[in-house]
Amino acid sequence: MRPSTVRGSAADFVARNAALAPRRNGIASTRATIGVLSDADTLALARLCREAALGKKAEDVVMLDIRRLANFADYFIVATGRSLIQARAVADAVVEAAEDKFGSPIRTEGYNEGGWILVDYGPVIVHVFLPQAREFYNLERLWTKPVAAARRSS
């Protein structure tokens, strides 16, 4: 009998089987980038992103309708992660939840730094903050309609 021989190294094995494993580098997705969405699909995507953030126990998850305030997006989803690891997990969950039905985000920003992670789907933009960054930038204040001030009586 011949002694069994190992064919190739671990690196060779990984290289041969790379096509079988999903190619993910942090928040990157292997799916095609999101396409044009109808109004109903845009709302469904926003709700899906909100639910994905809640599923990872994000705090203070808010969906802002900015259609009348901006022409670059329809909805903001704003969420807070208590730690860098949780913020990344929330962003990953959003991408994973949306990629099967809608595709991958157009771009992501801040994943390595983690203080403010942005996941941009075009009409829906997800912002995942650490508590200090969320308090500092206060997007809810910036993107909600101001309440009309009461008139003074002279």
97-137 per-position pLDDT tens digit: 998 889 889 899 999 887 999 999 999 999 999 999 999 99
Tens of pLDDT along 3-22?
A: 444 455 555 544 554 444 44
pTM score of the predicted model = 0.74
Gap between the Cα atoms of 110 and 100, Å rounded: 23
For residue 28, the number of C-alpha atoms closer than 13 Å in the C-beta half-sphere is 6
Q: At what angle do helices 84-99 and 39-55 cross, to 10 degrees?
A: 140
The residues, ordered by sequence, that sit 6+ positions from 25 with a Cβ below 8 Å of its Cβ are none
Q: Are strands 116-120 and 59-65 parallel, antiparallel or unpaired?
A: unpaired
Residue 147: exposure state from Cβ atoms within 10 A (0-12, 13-18, ≥19)? exposed
Domain 59-144, what fold? Beta Polymerase; domain 2 (3.30.460)
Extents of the domains making up the chain = 59-144
Provide the Cα torsion 28, 31, 32, 36; round to 10°.
-90
* Residue 68: band (very low, low, confident or very high) from pLDDT cuts 50, 70, 90: confident
Residue 61 has pLDDT above 60, yes or no: yes
Gap between the Cα atoms of 13 and 19, Å rounded: 11
Alpha helices in 56-130 (DSSP H): 84-99
